Structure 1
């Protein structure tokens, strides 16, 4: 028989807060027993803290591309963090980012400029450039990247390139 406990309101507030994935179990003994057991299962975040997942930051001004790349990366076990501009990436910070994927043609700071700024602070960070254009006017600007992909591209090839860059 499941019964309430004096902590129900506290646990409900906790469930709505940072521990939204916690599950509460309450058990009571037989009639007249009064034994109550409360347990909270660990959150997904707590379980995965011991096994750090690779964080991939994606910068693209096209929300459809962001969504598509998020789904691809998360299905492969990566943590995807999406940003609609270079400015939003820098506002969030690069702490914890293991790989950067950025569009070349964006308003404001383009992918090459973003790559250059990121390289100053994180010279070993793998950077992948993506574009819908079918040529790069200045091939010299493509130097110093881990990979270059023209849209549309095969997601499996991108995932393989990310894996290769992380092993290097």
Structure 2
């Protein structure tokens, strides 16, 4: 997961690990993109962060041929941001604070094998 807020990163990491998911946490999109992207099956990212926005991650992953689901979170939702996220084909979009059960369900759908 990617979020510039350490408390959000810790909370999300604790939530995901409590459901048995292995996690990696990053304070910025740049830090995430410099990591081993081959280990990533699903990305959960804040949208508004210093430097690169969470909305910029999906296109960069495509350019690198990384095909993982991207779930975006924002404390500042707007129709413009939702529209842009849809156009980028992100897996899901949540407003902070998000419902933990809904987020876990979204991760489960993102990681489910294709039929």
Q: Same fold (TM over 0.5)?
A: yes
What is the distance in 2 between the residues matched to 1:156 and 1:138? 23
- Aligned-pair distance for 1:135? 1.6
Contact 2:42 2:69 in 1 (8 A): yes
More helix by share: 2
More strand by share: 1
- Aligned-pair distance for 1:114? 1.4
- Aligned-pair distance for 1:142? 1.1
Residue in structure 2 matching 1:84, options 15, 27, 38: 27
2:51 corresponds in structure 1 to 108
- Determine if the alignment matches structure 1 residue 61 to structure 2 residue 10: no
Q: How does 1:1-168 map to 2 (within 5 A)?
A: 58-122=1-65, 124-143=67-86, 144-167=89-112, 168=114
CA RMSD of aligned residues (A): 1.4
SS at match of 1:148: strand
1:68–1:142 distance in 2 versus 1, CA, 3 Å:
same
- Aligned-pair distance for 1:123? 5.2
The alignment's TM-score, normalised by the length of structure 1, stands at 0.62
Contact 2:42 2:68 in 1 (8 A): yes
- Aligned-pair distance for 1:84? 0.2
Larger Rg: 1
- Aligned-pair distance for 1:138? 4.3
SS at match of 2:78: coil
SS at match of 2:52: coil
Higher relative contact order (CA closer than 8 Å, sequence separation 6+): 2
What is the distance in 2 between the residues matched to 1:138 and 1:153? 16
